A and B are shown apart, each in its own frame.
Chain A
Amino acid sequence: MEFFEPVLNGFGVVLEPTNLLYCLLGVVIGMLIGVLPGLGPAATIAILLPLTYGIEPVTAIIMLSGIFYGAQYGGTITSVLLRLPGEASSVVTVFDGYALTKQGRAGTALGVAAIGSFIGGTVAIVGLTFLAPLVAGFALDFGPPEYTALALLGILLVATVSNGGRLKSLIAAAVGLLLATVGRDGFTGESRFTFGSLELADGLDFVPIAMGIFGLGEILYNLEERHNKVSAPAKVANVWPSRKDLKQASGAIGRGSVLGFFLGILPGGGATLSSLAAYAMEKKRAKDPSRFGRGAIEGVAGPETANNAAATSSFIPLLTLGIPANATMAIIFGALLIQGVTPGPQLVQNDPELFWGVVNSMYIGNILLLIMSIPLVGVFVRILRVRPAILAPITVLITLIGVYTINNSIFDIWLVIFFGVFGYLMKKFGFEPGPLVLAFVLGALLEESLRRSLLLFGGDATQFAGRPITAVLLFVFIVVILLPVLQKARKNRAAKATTIPTKHKESV
């Protein structure tokens, strides 16, 4: 009973009219930006961040997380209907989703994706409910050495599993680490890269960087791309999948839920990685893998379930350890800090209403999304006709006003513009912005934890290996480095034996 009391109180928080309203607002916005190709949840949350300044922390985070998992639902629609993934996490849905559309079964694909998303999301919330307090329970054992290892692992995973090339991701991550060193050294009081400016004495703020690189950068890039030569979306007929389709998809939905949940927890994991992994797994398990790419219902169900489960479970490391698992979580991290809430081991204990309010809001949000995805899908399809020439200037204006309101600082506006152009150039030259932003967040943690650990160890680095959690994390770190090398060797051997290796084997 003791365990359930705060959980039930959390439902009380969610059911307050204001919170319900913001939950609805969040999932609708999420659904919308999921449908619009280009603007992702990270960008949207970054842009809307300042708006949350004046509302209660729990309400703000309910809305922002609604945007995040809502986008996972919305991203499916364009993948299936137009072959344009609205989100990176829906890229693999294109293969079979669009094939189904061509066969006139778009409704079935959308219906199965929505049901899968709902189940994946719900399973992950239940997992979050039980696992998060458990993790928080031994989070006090996480001292500086453990954080050092975790940050190191997180940066490496982000750099190696993101969409762009591995080398480019590593470069982006290195730039992020460099940016993290700006400001007054927290150990010696020495100023680094501040050029005598007091504005830079505390280092670069995360919010203008995220708003610039994700928000402004994405908008500029999309304007140039003009990949909105929208062909009229196909008619969506019956979205209720037949019993036969459901039966065929059920296994994929079950596996996707579990896989997504666990991959979401890992630093660097999250929705995109888990959708890729789920697709690879379904293809591998299928009796007839050749069906994939030609309209296999499991090819839609698996990834769409997994990306939702992962979107939910990636809240675990953030809320319990204060470590963002992916770029979107990094922005929600920023949102919590703005609200004066430090995500970390103390959160579940000190702020149970916030914690359980946010977790439980996800049940409601997922139900709302299911309703929007099945009966109301036609409405969202129509959104695809909004022209970017109208949308973009409004978004830019909101971004710039928004960033000013956080610190009342003109300097921050210049930062957003600078990082906006920087983010645009990154995209243009094929660099993913994700690793940069996450490395920026984790960079400060890595440096400070490492130096703190060495102080505690009296300068003896071998003591890292003497702490069990740290040792395990460092072991995983080494495995992640060595895995591609080993796999390459195996691939070479396998190539001789004529089998075709799957591309995403390492992530399974």
Chain B
Amino acid sequence: MFHSKLALRSASTAGAAAVLALTLSACGGNVANSGGSDDASDFPSGPVTLTIGQDPGGSTDLIGRAVAENASDALGAPMPVVNKPGANGALATKEVANSTPDGQTLVLLNASLIAITPLAVSEDEAVKLDDLEVISGISQDDYVLVANAESEYKTVEDIVVADKPFNFATTGVGTASQLAQALLFKQAGVDGTDVPFDGGSPAMTAILGNQVDFATIQLGEARPQIEAGALRPIVTFSEERNQYLPDVPTALEAGYDVPVSQYRAIAAPKGTPEPALEKLREAVSAAFESEEYKQFNEENLFTPHEVDGEQVVEEWTANAAKYKELVEKYDIDLGGEQ
């Protein structure tokens, strides 16, 4: 904009050579900066920062660090991880979306932020995929409905037959844990009260202490207690049986339309030049192929879901629409009825 204004003015002053030269050189510089040809060799021009919108130590953070660590070799640049927690990841995502689209700044996305959180919070706090270039999908993290091992309920059928009110713990408002349980209990006609806790660990403490009847927790968090025999898995909410819990049926198998999982993807700001995106895609695929990363997935019970950016956008958009439709159909208010 600046350049065109300058060009217009210089034209009107008719023939001031110095000004014209300045304008031309300025325009030339601009073309070189945004042009495609040079970028492939320029990129990466320094460390590529991966911003994570969650606290260090959580599963999102672990995944981000594992990808960054294994992608930096193929990228030929260090990939430092920066945690910028806030508003369920919205803060970090908005910041990256607004940064210079040169591929040097990336963000790790949670599908729930795009597909579920908007169902609970106001419009202006919601984040849209339109502002980003998705580089690649990463993995799928499943949720499991658990009861205390002393509980008499073993299947969804048992819960329905009991025909009495229950309390269920969620990992927070606007999370996949809340959506999955709300949908399941509503579809099954069970009178369930949604009790939000501040994350997976407090929700698990509550179910271990018999403070609530059920809880839905990420599999990685629940497995130690499932294996110790303290918690009993009832259903998982993935579309297909989870490879790490092959004996536990899905909610779909039990007859309820609740396909809820957490997906994660890596993205750059909208307008990042194609050559840079291509390099990033290659680096991320290289990370996925490494033995170290595969082992990481197995240890943490993540199911790889390494699809391309277009498919991520397609799937997440479809999920958002599906959740919206289900929530409206069953008249569920994630914001709580209080």
Chain A residues packing against B (C-beta within 8 Å): 140-144, 184-191, 196, 198-199, 201-202, 338-340, 342, 344-346, 407-409, 448, 451-452, 455-456, 458
Contact = CB atoms under 8 A, between A and B. Distances in A.
A201 B53 CA distance: 13
Nearest to A339: B57
Contacts of A344: 201-202, 205
Nearest to A185: B173
26 contacts: A140-B208, A141-B209, A143-B211, A144-B211, A184-B173, A186-B173, A186-B196, A186-B198, A188-B173, A189-B120, A189-B121, A196-B124, A198-B86, A198-B87, A199-B86, A201-B90, A344-B205, A407-B84, A407-B85, A408-B82, A408-B83, A408-B84, A451-B338, A455-B194, A456-B193, A456-B212
B167 to A, nearest CB: 5
A458 B193 contact: yes
B333 to A, nearest CB: 9
A190 B335 contact: yes
B85 A202 contact: yes
B173 A189 contact: yes
B94 A198 contact: yes
Contacts of B198: 186, 448
B87 A342 contact: no
Interface string B60-92: 000000000000000000000011111110110
Given A143-B206, A340-B55, 20 more contacts: A140-B209, A143-B209, A144-B211, A184-B87, A189-B120, A191-B125, A198-B125, A199-B91, A201-B90, A202-B85, A338-B56, A340-B56, A340-B58, A344-B205, A346-B201, A407-B85, A409-B84, A448-B198, A452-B195, A455-B195
B122 interface: yes
A142 B202 CA distance: 11
Nearest to B337: A188
B197 interface: yes
Interface of B is mostly: loop
Contacts of A140: 205, 208-210
Interface in B145-202: 165, 167, 172-174, 193-198, 201-202
B169 to A, nearest CB: 9
A189 B88 CA distance: 11
Contacts of A455: 167, 193-195, 338
A342 B173 contact: no
> Size class of B's contact patch?
35 or more
A267 B275 CA distance: 59
A285 to B, nearest CB: 43
Given A144-B211, A188-B338, A201 B193 contact: no
Contacts of A189: 120-121, 173-174, 334-336
B324 to A, nearest CB: 15
A291 B202 CA distance: 53
B125 A201 contact: yes
Interface of B: 55-58, 82-88, 90-91, 94, 120-122, 124-125, 165, 167, 172-174, 193-198, 201-202, 204-206, 208-212, 334-336, 338
Contacts of A338: 56
B116 to A, nearest CB: 11
A346 B211 contact: no
Given A188-B173, A198-B86, A408-B84, A346 B122 contact: no
A407 B94 CA distance: 16
A457 to B, nearest CB: 10
Nearest to B84: A408
A396 B187 CA distance: 57
A336 B234 CA distance: 33
Contacts of A409: 84
A96 to B, nearest CB: 47
Contact of B87 (A185, A202, A345): A202
B121 to A, nearest CB: 5
B335 A201 contact: no
Contacts of A144: 195, 206, 211
A340 B57 CA distance: 5
B114 to A, nearest CB: 16
B334 A201 contact: no
B87 A187 contact: no
For B87, B120, B165, B334, the residue with the greatest tally of chain A CB atoms inside 10 Å of its CB is B87
Task: Enumerate the 9 nearest inter-chain pairs by beta-carbon distance, A residue then B residue, closest first.
Answer: A340-B57, A201-B87, A143-B211, A140-B209, A189-B120, A188-B336, A189-B173, A188-B335, A198-B91
A377 B133 CA distance: 63
Nearest to A189: B120
Nearest to B94: A198
B173 A187 contact: yes
A191 B94 CA distance: 18
A63 to B, nearest CB: 19
Nearest to B119: A189
A142 B209 contact: yes
A189 B172 CA distance: 9
A77 to B, nearest CB: 39
A338 B338 CA distance: 32
Chain B CB within 10 Å, residue with most, of A188, A196, A409: A188
Contact of B205 (A186, A345, A452): A345
Nearest to B165: A458
Nearest to A140: B209
A238 B196 CA distance: 61
A261 to B, nearest CB: 27
A218 to B, nearest CB: 28
A351 to B, nearest CB: 12
A137 B336 CA distance: 33
Contact of A187 (B94, B125, B165, B196): B196
A407 to B, nearest CB: 6
